[in-house]
Amino acid sequence: MSKDPDNPETIERTFIAFKPDAVQRGIVGEILHRLERAGLKISALKMIHASDELLEEHYSEHKGKDFFQNLVDFMGGGPVIAGVLEGVKAVSVVRKLVGETEPYEAAPGTIRGDYSHVSVEHANRKGKAVKNVIHASGNLEEARKEIDLWFDEDEIFTYERTDDDHIR
């Protein structure tokens, strides 16, 4: 199964991960529903308790920052549900649905805005990672790196959604 979508001009694949807070709060289904409802196709989905090595590579751009170790500890503190979503300009569409990094700033209607609210300042004062429910790749390059890192080729699927004609 190819890692590249059928039409690389507009159809993209992006990586998401429901963070341990989402899994532990039991809100994964609700949030996945929002993404599916927007017409994004689930190309891959699995639960995984990520190792420090995987998380350090996943968040390598943040290595050396104050919050790095808290972030790795948080993300490795329980299982996550990792996935690949496919759709037209899926990377930016999913970021838009996810909302801003800081829950306090994330707009209502976005996943982070609707399911979390804390400020970065509060998390820092508490010495905690910012628990913002879901990860989504920031750009196409990051998406390719993250899909490669988290998934084997044979874990990613190509199929037709019956509503494909209407949604893309």
- Minimum distance between the CB of residue 160 and Mg ion, rounded to whole angstroms? 31
Which is catalytic among the residues 49, 58, 117, 135? 135
Own/partner pairs, 30-35, CB within 8 angstroms, 24+ separation = 31/111, 31/115, 31/133, 31/134, 32/83, 34/97, 34/111, 35/85, 35/94, 35/97
Considering beta carbons, is residue 44 or 91 the nearer one to Mg ion? 91
Report the alpha-carbon distance of residue 113 to residue 81 in Å, rounded. 20
Q: 88 contacts which partner out of ligand UDP, Mg ion, none, CB within 5 to 8 A by kind? A: none
Give me the amino acid identity at 53: E
Shortest Å, Cβ 67 to ligand UDP: 4
From ligand UDP, Mg ion, none, interface partner of 101 (C-beta below 5 to 8 A by class) = ligand UDP
Q: How far is the C-alpha of 67 from the C-alpha of 59, rounded, in Å?
A: 11
Nearest to 111 by CA among 76, 88, 85: 85
57 binds Mg ion (CB under 5 A): no
Partner from Mg ion, ligand UDP, none contacting 14, C-beta within 5 to 8 A by type: none
Is the CB of 149 or the CB of 161 nearer to Mg ion? Answer: 149
Contact call for residues 141 and 10 (beta carbons, < 8 A): no
Q: In what order do the strands lie in the sheet with 134-136?
A: 41-48, 80-88, 11-18, 134-136
Q: Which residue has the tokens 């306090």?
A: 104
Nearer CB in complex with ligand UDP: 67/104: 67
Q: Is 7 annotated as a binding residue?
A: no
Exactly one of 138, 145, 155, 161 binds Mg ion (CB under 5 A); that residue is 138
Known binder of ligand: residue 112? Answer: yes
Which of the choices Mg ion, ligand UDP, none does residue 135 contact, using the CB cut-off of 5 to 8 A by kind?
ligand UDP
Binding region for ATP: 19, 67, 95, 101, 112, 132
